Structure 1
């Protein structure tokens, strides 16, 4: 079952219009929300970011944040989803094809659920990554449907037998193809500032909160490729990958080649938040 605007429908085959601007221009925004044991993790934060992304492309959601949240919760309930993801996208709507905004169009909301196991074993042992030049546009703070640069980077990682591509603009690391990037040096945590060159991840924000719990400081400043490769620890974060230690980048082993102590501490306190979410208490 999927959500289409204000309706729950069983069959999505006839729901896509060829003149939907999301299909033709990528003119829309989206979110992916994690569900743990039937509970949505940081749902309000995701909906807030969805509204922000829409506003940045001069689009207004057709429903209030409360209405969107309630419909997503109902979607989870109707599909009986216990562990997995919710995908929601909002496009500018259906209109005759022109590059400029149509004079009249109604945004189209589509959402569905997907059963997905948690990456527990992967995050226990760590992942490998490649370095890739960041070829994307300069508004990565918008969670838009335009993801071809990310797709190409992720494909290059897959072809190299790796789980992620760490992007860099010149000598400065920006983020992963679908993650935010952190390094640890002398027990201090560093990550790229939240500006137009990265997406300010929901899990990224969670790590900032969790770092305070383990009394670790996070410094937001540009990280060079050299600093990344010489870090004591590297980890990436996202809704689906959670907190994933990076044990190798290209041919360079990070630290001693296993998940580091700071990353493991963050994983432990993150796990506590997941347990709270499974009881339906993590929604802000």
Structure 2
């Protein structure tokens, strides 16, 4: 594992030690949260589904009218320079509107600020986690992967304050997503997840899981489901790029089913791990 003192990061065309890397206090990401980020998992040097993550980054930048400052190959080359050869790493990419005089309107002729770093990921939640439900009081564009994450931070902290690992969010009686994850439930052996909308982040791991499940003959329903259905589900999972697929074994201080990871989660996790190894092997061949 690379310590912070020796970690190399990328900022605006330069590679430097993390502790020596600085941005301007006038950067619009610092002043307004005016930017987009992306998180890309890497396994044994293999950048996992890079094209999907790049497409999401590109779409989000287009949504906030921020030009893409590089093409896919250029970003991939930057990432490869930062990898430390760990078994599992996470690449963080952040692009802001750049440095300009503080004003709410978009500045003219300003170069975006591009920051990229890679970090080691330690998986430690496969046995299951505890969650609570909270009201989803975020804004109307949760599908944008903006760096302005204060609402999500506050929701996650509420969960931590109640000795839970994640907050599962409820809007108008229906489950949307987690504070930093997508949510799946199992009812009568059917896998159910909230459909894509402005109220959830279009997770890459979510999409991969749905494809793997459907290709293996498992039934997946993309529909709204209520908090009551969540509480009555035989299985609950959360998914994200860094956590992969994690079973929820307690919800609102009550056990989910028998309080252990379920049979369907075990099937899905096996499919996902096999998929990872297949992609790594294909790249090595």
TM-score > 0.5 by shorter chain: yes
Quickly name the TM-score band, shorter chain normalised.
over 0.9
Correspondence 1:1-284 to 2 at 5 A: 1-11=8-18, 13-76=20-83, 79-119=84-124, 122-123=125-126, 125-279=127-281, 281=283
Cα distance in 2 for partners of 1:158, 1:245 equals 17
Cα distance in 2 for partners of 1:87, 1:219 equals 31
Instruction: State the SS of the aligned residue for 1:266.
Output: helix
Q: How many residues align?
A: 277
Instruction: State the SS of the aligned residue for 1:144.
Output: coil
Distance 1:277 1:10, change over 3 A: farther
Distance 1:240 1:270, change over 3 A: same
Structure 2: runs of 5 or more not aligned: 1-7
Instruction: State the SS of the aligned residue for 2:283.
Output: coil
Cα distance in 2 for partners of 1:211, 1:11 equals 40
Distance 1:258 1:274, change over 3 A: same
Cα distance in 2 for partners of 1:281, 1:141 equals 31
Deviations 1:65-86 (A, max 9, x none): 221122112222xx44442211
What is the RMSD of the two structures over their aligned residues, measured on CA atoms? 1.6
- Tell me, yes or no, if the aligned pair for 2:11 and 2:21 is still in contact at 8 Å: no
Cα distance in 1 for partners of 2:260, 2:55 equals 36
Q: Following TM superposition, by how much is the alpha carbon of 1:214 offset from its aligned partner in structure 2, in angstroms?
A: 2.9
**Larger RCO of the pair (alpha carbons < 8 Å, separation 6+):** 1
Compute the TM-score of the two structures, normalised by the length of structure 2: 0.93
Compute the TM-score of the two structures, normalised by the length of structure 1: 0.93
Deviations 1:74-131 (A, max 9, x none): 222xx44442211110001000000010122111110111112123xx21x2111011
